[in-house]
A = this chain, B = another copy of it.
Amino acid sequence: MYSQLLLPDLQILLQEDDADGLREFCEVFHPAATAEVLGSLSSAEVWRVLSHSPLPLQVEIFQFLELPLQVTLVEGVDRDRLTQLLEEMAPDDRVDLLERMDPELVERLLPLVAQAERSDIRRLLSFPEDSAGSIMTTEYASLPEDISVNEAIERLRQQAPDRETIYYVYVLDEERHLLGFVTLRELILARPDARLGDIMTRSVISVRVDDDQEVVANELARYDFIAIPVVDNQNRLVGIITHDDVLDVVQQEATEDAHRLGAVEPLEDSYLSTSLLTLTWKRGIWLVLLLGAALATASILRGFESTSQQFAWLILFLPLVLASGGNAGSQSATLVIRLLAVEQIDRSQNWEIISREFRLALLLGGGLAVLGFGSALLFEGVEPAAVVGVTVFLVVMLGTVTGAMLPLLFKSVGMDPALMSNPLIAAMVDVFGVVTYFSVALLMHFAFAG
């Protein structure tokens, strides 16, 4: 919304090459708002706008730009400027950028970056994608335990300018073991001469550096924290993850899950900044896989060719019985996958879920079977209606239980439950649904004939 309103102004400032105007533009608006407007300019123009501001503000705005744009921008800029930029960037945002850049360029750049920043970069780059380590920042506020509240506030003043947050302060011993934490609110309220070690909270909730980012998000969401500390396997503080990064993780994971459920391989960037070719690929592989499953259904149908010629009405209700199973399966898979994404489910609850789904399947399958029977009766005779009713019941049972069990199974072997997309469930139910439909038709015919 901002970009719509401000873009014309910015373009005039650029045309007139108004240095003061450009600097003011960057200073007046929130960096995120400025970044949004810059998104509509060319790389050269973005650099021209930024160049009129002091470096820290440049970097703040730069960090709010979308990643693909950041990558384009750094590719066209000279080494000195890029080195400065990297040194000034927040460690977590910097690593995100470096991970997306050409690895050769990164290797040529790193020697130019100051030593301290360089080893921080190497360490953060070494963490696996989507781990706590890969999204944490190393710019946290920390203090020793045996100082007074007054001194603590004084030291925080010095740390403040380059810390991601000073609202949560971590209390460490000399080996950086996490002893406790204290909030700035508590410091402000405490007696100035109280000892930090006496007012801090000792039972600190933390995550491990190799925890998955989804665990981090769930923990932070559960406790309503502004930041959560990240420790190594000896409980030494190695970083923190702040609420805004967790919000991004939650959005990103929800989008990934939604895409998977809809049979789209997750996109790295937003839909609008993903190329048509990438989109074709990320959708195409699933469509081809699902086409393969549909061919299996076709070959089973071929095995029943004589049956389908014998009972012409079978084709009428084929889409209906297959859709009933697929839809019930999609519902179960959706519910279970979303449940696994937002809650910690332990093994004992797996059985509770399957048992609930089984009972649901009985209710839903029973209800739909009656409706299916009734509606088929309007089209054809009692025998076809009975076949449709019984088949609908069976495929709904099958779909529901499969849809619920497969994500749980995937999770228990350490795979992403959302891999079990709705169309895949539907395709699997199709294969078995066809066999069920024709078998029921044949059996019923014998029963009615007998």
User: Does the CB pair B247–A221 fall under 8 Å?
Assistant: yes
Number of contacting residues on A, CB 8 A? 116
Which residue of B is nearest A282, CB measured?
B331
Q: Is A328 on the interface with B (CB-CB < 8 A)?
A: yes
The answer, among B28, B295, B315, B324, for a CB contact under 8 Å with A291, is: B324
One of A7-15, A183-191, A440-448 at the interface: A183-191
The interface residues of chain B lying within 8 Å CB-to-CB of A344 are: 1
One of A76-84, A95-103, A356-364 at the interface: A356-364
One of A105-113, A117-125, A233-241, A255-263 at the interface: A255-263
Q: Is A287 on the interface with B (CB-CB < 8 A)?
A: yes
Measured between alpha carbons, how far is A287 from B4 in the docked complex, in Å?
43
One of A48-56, A67-75, A143-151, A298-306 at the interface: A298-306
Given contacts A28-B203, A261-B261, contact A360 B276 (CB under 8 A): yes
Q: Is A176 on the interface with B (CB-CB < 8 A)?
A: no
The interface residues of chain B lying within 8 Å CB-to-CB of A449 are: none
Q: Is A427 on the interface with B (CB-CB < 8 A)?
A: yes
Interface string of A231-271 (1 = CB under 8 A from B): 00000000000011011101100110111011110000011
Given contacts A222-B32, A291-B368, A315-B315, contact A363 B276 (CB under 8 A): yes
Interface string of A22-47 (1 = CB under 8 A from B): 00000011101100100000000000
The smallest C-beta distance from A378 to any residue of chain B, in angstroms, reads 9
Which residue of B is nearest A293, CB measured?
B323
The interface residues of chain B lying within 8 Å CB-to-CB of A261 are: 258, 261-262, 334, 422
Measured between alpha carbons, how far is A246 from B220 in the docked complex, in Å?
13
User: Does the CB pair A323–B423 fall under 8 Å?
Assistant: yes
User: Does the CB pair A335–B247 fall under 8 Å?
Assistant: no
The interface residues of chain B lying within 8 Å CB-to-CB of A127 are: none
User: Does the CB pair A364–B166 fall under 8 Å?
Assistant: no
The smallest C-beta distance from A160 to any residue of chain B, in angstroms, reads 6
15 contacts between A and B (CB under 8 A): A4-B346, A160-B189, A161-B189, A167-B184, A258-B337, A261-B261, A263-B331, A272-B343, A272-B349, A276-B360, A287-B367, A288-B368, A294-B319, A319-B319, A319-B434
